[in-house]
Amino acid sequence: MELSLATRTVAEHTVLEVGGEVDVYTAPRLRERLVELVDNGARNVVVDLGRVDFLDSTGLGVLVGALKRLRAAGGTFGLVCAKEPLLKIFRITALDQVFPIYPSVEAATSATSDERDGSGPAA
Amino acid sequence: MATVRLSFSPAPVHVRTARLVGVAVARRAGVAEELLDEVRLAIGEACTRAVALHRQYGLSDLVTVEMSDWDSYTVRVIDHAPIEASVGLAKLPPDELADESLTDEALTTGVGFALLAGFVDDLQVRPVDDGTGTEVRMVWPVHRR
């Protein structure tokens, strides 16, 4: 299945909904979109992986790149993922210790708002 | 024993084809359904690595994927890059993953190897028997019907 990308705003967060396969062929498009979002001023970004059915190391590299860019810009970055096969990928690579991962968009936006406001624990 | 061999130009677009073929042959060989996601990911990672090495060294040689089922399902992904390129296969510790100084390429290579090592119990990376290159050999159990 081809990569699909859609952006919406939820509670002052830019939510990028990703669907399909994120691999060595499609990951450059995801990278371009994330760079574009940050360049256009997005500072609180949530990437929703709910409709992703394949994710490889290239896709993971793009997500780490976005995390670094947002950290450098003083922003926040979170992932939404509840699918066990994808969560296993994050665990095996130890990236579950790098990314804040939430079960829903609502959980991600409220947690990163707390983090930004300093009123809650950093994820 | 059945063998399926696929060779493709080192372009990212063909890695998906290799994954699809690899999973189709695995299913037919009798690999358990619950392992097929891991087979798909591992074949993809091995092919991605081979394509990246060929592009890094400007090689137009074909990448080869050979799948065979005998008493197990064996997949060999063969590249033709200089052997020292394989030295870059190392698992990165978590505190280095988001390190600012780590290049995207190094990160992807390290994460790719972590996925291969994590998902394939029987994994070997070794020089090819003839000429220049590396073979990534992955084996999964099969259940005969």
- Give the domains, in start order, of chain B with CATH numbers: 2-141 (3.30.565.10)
Residues of the domain holding A22 = 4-117
CA dihedral A90, A23, A21, A106 (to 10 degrees): 40
Chain B hits for A93, CB-CB cut-off 8 Å, are 97, 111, 114-115, 118
Tell me whether residue A43 is in a domain.
yes
Pairing of β A4-10 and β A13-22: antiparallel
Chain A hits for B97, CB-CB cut-off 8 Å, are 64, 93-95, 97-98
Contact A24, A87 (CB under 8 A): no
Tell me whether residue A65 is in a domain.
yes
Tally the domains of chain A: 1
Mean pLDDT of B88-111: 72
Report the alpha-carbon distance of residue B10 to residue B59 in Å, rounded.
8
Sheet strand arrangement including B134-141: B2-8, B63-69, B72-78, B134-141, B122-127
Give me the residue label for tokens 């400007």. B58
Report the alpha-carbon distance of residue B49 to residue B109 in Å, rounded.
7
Comparison of pLDDT for A112 and A77, the residue scoring more: A77
The count of C-alpha atoms lying within 13 angstroms of the C-alpha of B60, restricted to the half-sphere facing its C-beta, is 0
**What backbone torsions phi and psi does residue B100 show, to the nearest 5 degrees?**
-60, -30
The two tokens of residue B98 are 């988001």
Tell me whether residue A122 is in a domain.
no
What's the pLDDT tens digit per position in A23-80? 999 999 999 999 999 999 999 999 999 999 999 999 999 999 999 999 999 999 999 9
What's the pLDDT tens digit per position in B71-97? 899 999 999 998 765 545 555 666 677
Report the alpha-carbon distance of residue A46 to residue A37 in Å, rounded.
11
Sheet strand arrangement including A44-55: A4-10, A13-22, A44-55, A76-80, A101-102
Question: Can you give the C-alpha Rg of chain A in angstroms?
Answer: 13
Tell me whether residue A123 is in a domain.
no
B51 pLDDT band, cuts 50/70/90, is very high
What's the pLDDT tens digit per position in B19-36? 999 999 999 999 999 999
Q: At B81, is the secondary structure helix, strand, or coil?
A: coil
Is the pLDDT at A117 greater than 80? The verdict is no
A120 pLDDT band, cuts 50/70/90, is very low
Nearest to A56 among B44, B100, B118 (CB): B44
Report CB contact under 8 Å: B118, A64: no
CA dihedral A81, A85, A86, A92 (to 10 degrees): 130
Tell me whether residue A73 is in a domain.
yes
Nearest to A96, CA basis, from A53, A54, A48, A63 = A63
Contact B123, B86 (CB under 8 A): no
Report the alpha-carbon distance of residue A87 to residue B20 in Å, rounded.
22
A111 pLDDT band, cuts 50/70/90, is confident
Nearest to B63, CA basis, from B19, B27, B122, B15 = B15
pLDDT value, residue A30: 98
Interface of B with A in 56-75 (CB under 8 A): none
What's the pLDDT tens digit per position in B53-69? 999 999 999 999 999 99
- Specify the CATH number for the domain of residue A11: 3.30.750.24
Tell me whether residue A77 is in a domain.
yes
